[in-house]
């Protein structure tokens, strides 16, 4: 045959590869058309509710904490200063012509902030004839208007208007039927632009902050590492088929799903120095001569709350690690076993490299969560016996001392510490692709 068919030529190995290649486009990238731009606008429109919700739920509270941390705010300052007024009729008029007094009790709700331009407007009920009027007040018909000027913090006044009671009032009048209207203006410490660094000076004053930070880092680091190690051992133990496997896995989740307040008080009762079963067992076995105050003695209390954190939160690590273990191909272990690898070698050289990704994620999450933990320590020790962490310090500053600004400053410090840890983690610790 003198000629080669088309099909033969297409499969001829001597044919140059360039003959079937397509030239690469060297021109500028094409701009998006009207349809693509319309789709992009639609996508952003659909995302806007989510963006707004995230801003309201996450960003705004965070910004408010930063704002309050630079203000000397106490619990009493959470409400703006206002005039509190009470009105009643003094005296017991029984017949027309009896004398009585309309009493207005007024006070400044704030002990420190000034209220400016205080005025009171009220409508007197029919049947009351005013006998005398304060210079600060005017009466037009039954409409009363009083201008009290500026009030300093903690100001109080018992303002009275003498009246004669007529039959119209006795027939059903009520001085409290018309509520007095008060107008005023005052600065709100939460919304003004007066800032101070006193809160941060109080936080970093002395050695107390550094001791609290040290306790927090000890509790967080060892609590996190302990929970991950216990979760790893539990996952290795249950990463095999046996009867009752599902029930045992469910029991391992009990420390994590049980109500924290019930579990904390159970631990307190078990380790009580007077009636706890743990102390009774240690004394009877001769391990100790006297009872040990596990949650009230340094440094045992810090060790105990750290052990509680390990025990309470290892099930979460157990679930993540077990799920990752079950996705590792069995062929790797079978090949390593045929090559004579020991169980420890298979664990160290096969399992650990496969688990590094999930272990790093667990370390990051558990470190952040444990660093922010408050309820465990507060329920077990209340922050006493050397267990006071930064989160407990936030509670004490904000509510025990009633200094909201100082509590917010400690919260900002916690946020800064976690940001520094996250940057360090992603830059130097994590080597997993995608983290």
- pLDDT on residue 374: 92
What is the rounded average pLDDT of the residues 31-38? 76
- pLDDT on residue 3: 44
Task: Give 94: exposed, middle or buried? Use CB within 10 Å, 0-12, 13-18, 19+.
Answer: exposed
Q: Is the distance from CB of 222 to CB of 306 less than 8 angstroms?
A: yes
How high is the mean pLDDT of the chain?
Answer: 84
User: Which of 157, 186, 215 is the last residue in one of the domains?
Assistant: 186
Q: Are residues 133 and 224 in the same domain?
A: no
Structure tokens at 381: 């020790």
Q: Assign residue 340 a region: left if phi > 0, alpha if psi is -120 to 50, beta otherwise?
A: left
**What confidence category does residue 16 fall into, taking pLDDT thresholds of 50, 70 and 90?**
very low
- Least confident range from 1-5, 173-177, 304-308, 328-332: namely 1-5
Residue 3 forms part of a structural domain = no
Residue 253 forms part of a structural domain = yes
Q: Are residues 208 and 134 in the same domain?
A: no
- pLDDT on residue 193: 83
What is the rounded average pLDDT of the residues 88-113? 85
Q: Are residues 171 and 247 in the same domain?
A: no
User: Which of 186, 211, 239 is the last residue in one of the domains?
Assistant: 186
Highest mean pLDDT among 59-63, 78-82, 223-227 belongs to 223-227
Q: Are residues 111 and 216 in the same domain?
A: no
Structure tokens at 213: 């930070």
Q: Are residues 179 and 207 in the same domain?
A: no
340-395 pLDDT per residue, tens: 888 888 888 888 888 988 999 999 999 999 999 999 999 999 889 889 999 999 99
For the question of whether the overall pTM of this predicted structure is more than 0.95, the answer is: no
183-231 pLDDT per residue, tens: 888 887 888 888 888 889 888 876 788 899 999 999 999 999 999 999 9
% residues pLDDT > 70 (the chain): 91
Residue 7 forms part of a structural domain = no
Which residues touch 42 (CB under 8 Å, ≥6 apart)? none
232-259 pLDDT per residue, tens: 999 998 888 788 788 888 888 888 989 9
User: Which of 144, 159, 186 is the last residue in one of the domains?
Assistant: 186
Q: Are residues 251 and 306 in the same domain?
A: yes
Residue 329 forms part of a structural domain = yes
- pLDDT on residue 314: 93
Domain with residue 212: its CATH number is: 1.10.3720.10
- pLDDT on residue 275: 84
What is the DSSP code string of 288-347? -SS---TTTSTTHHHHHHHHHHHHHHHHHHHHHHHHHHTTS-HHHHHHHHHTT--HHHHI
Residue 143 has pLDDT above 70, yes or no: yes
C-alpha 433/C-alpha 233 separation (Å) is: 25
What is the rounded average pLDDT of the residues 400-427? 90
- pLDDT on residue 417: 93
Residue 277 neighbours by CB distance under 10 Å: 11
Q: Are residues 277 and 402 in the same domain?
A: yes
Phi, psi for 117 (deg, rounded to 5): 60, 50
C-alpha 412/C-alpha 70 separation (Å) is: 10
Domain that holds residue 180: 83-186
What is the rounded average pLDDT of the residues 45-55? 86
Residue 93 has pLDDT above 90, yes or no: no
Q: In sequence order, what are the beta bridge partners of 123? A: 143
The separation between CA 98 and the C-alpha centre of its own chain, rounded to angstroms, equals: 61
- pLDDT on residue 31: 58
- pLDDT on residue 188: 78
**What confidence category does residue 44 fall into, taking pLDDT thresholds of 50, 70 and 90?**
confident
Structure tokens at 185: 């203006």
Q: Are residues 163 and 240 in the same domain?
A: no
- Cα torsion 404, 409, 413, 416: sign: positive
Q: How many domains does the chain have?
A: 2
119-129 pLDDT per residue, tens: 999 988 888 88
Which residues touch 358 (CB under 8 Å, ≥6 apart)? 320, 321, 324
- pLDDT on residue 339: 84
* Largest distance between two CA atoms of the chain: 139
Residue 157 has pLDDT above 70, yes or no: yes
- pLDDT on residue 28: 53
* Coarse DSSP helix, strand, coil percentages of the chain, rounded to the nearest 5 percent: 50, 15, 35
Q: Are residues 133 and 243 in the same domain?
A: no
- pLDDT on residue 17: 44
End-to-end Cα spacing for the chain:
63
Highest mean pLDDT among 8-12, 18-22, 240-244, 292-296 belongs to 292-296
Which residues touch 67 (CB under 8 Å, ≥6 apart)? 190
Between 275 and 310, name the one with better pLDDT: 310
């Amino acid at each position: 045959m003198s000629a080669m068919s088309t099909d033969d030529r297409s499969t001829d190995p001597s044919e140059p590869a360039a003959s079937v290649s397509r030239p690469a486009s060297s021109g500028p990238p094409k701009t998006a058309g009207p349809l693509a731009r319309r789709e992009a606008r639609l996508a952003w429109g659909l995302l806007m509710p989510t963006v707004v919700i995230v801003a309201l739920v996450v960003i705004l509270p965070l910004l408010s904490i930063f704002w309050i941390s630079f203000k000397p705010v106490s619990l009493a300052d959470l409400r703006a200063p206002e005039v509190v007024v009470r009105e009643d009729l003094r005296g017991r008029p029984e017949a027309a012509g009896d004398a009585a007094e309309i009493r207005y009790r007024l006070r400044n709700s704030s002990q420190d902030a000034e209220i400016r331009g205080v005025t009171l407007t009220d409508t007197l009920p029919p049947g009351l004839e005013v006998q005398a009027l304060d210079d600060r007040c005017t009466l037009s018909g039954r409409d009363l208007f009083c201008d009290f000027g500026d009030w300093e913090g903690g100001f109080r006044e018992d303002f009275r208007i003498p009246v004669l009671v007529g039959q119209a009032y006795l027939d059903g009048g009520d001085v409290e039927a018309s509520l007095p209207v008060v107008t005023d203006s005052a600065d709100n410490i939460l919304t003004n632009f007066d800032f101070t660094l006193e809160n941060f000076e109080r936080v970093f004053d002395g050695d107390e902050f550094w001791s609290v930070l040290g306790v927090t880092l000890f509790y967080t680091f060892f609590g996190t590492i302990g929970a991950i190690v216990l979760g790893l051992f539990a996952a290795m133990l249950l990463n095999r088929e046996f009867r009752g496997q599902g029930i045992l896995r469910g029991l391992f989740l009990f420390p994590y799903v049980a109500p924290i307040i019930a579990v904390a008080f159970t631990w307190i009762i078990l380790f009580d120095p007077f009636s706890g079963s743990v102390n009774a067992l240690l004394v009877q076995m001769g391990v100790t001569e006297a009872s040990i105050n596990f949650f009230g003695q340094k440094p045992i209390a810090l060790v105990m709350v750290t052990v509680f954190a390990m025990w309470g939160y290892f099930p979460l690590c157990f679930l993540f690690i077990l799920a990752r273990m079950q996705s590792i191909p069995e062929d790797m272990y079978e090949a390593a076993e045929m090559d004579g690898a020991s169980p420890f070698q298979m664990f160290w050289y096969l399992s650990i490299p496969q688990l590094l990704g999930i272990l790093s994620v667990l370390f990051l999450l558990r470190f952040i969560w444990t660093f922010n933990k408050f309820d465990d320590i507060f329920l077990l020790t209340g922050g006493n016996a050397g267990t006071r962490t930064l989160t407990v310090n936030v509670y004490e500053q904000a509510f025990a001392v009633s200094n909201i600004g100082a509590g917010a400053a400690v919260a900002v410090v916690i946020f800064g510490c976690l940001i520094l840890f996250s940057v360090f983690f992603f830059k130097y610790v994590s080597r997993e692709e995608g983290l």
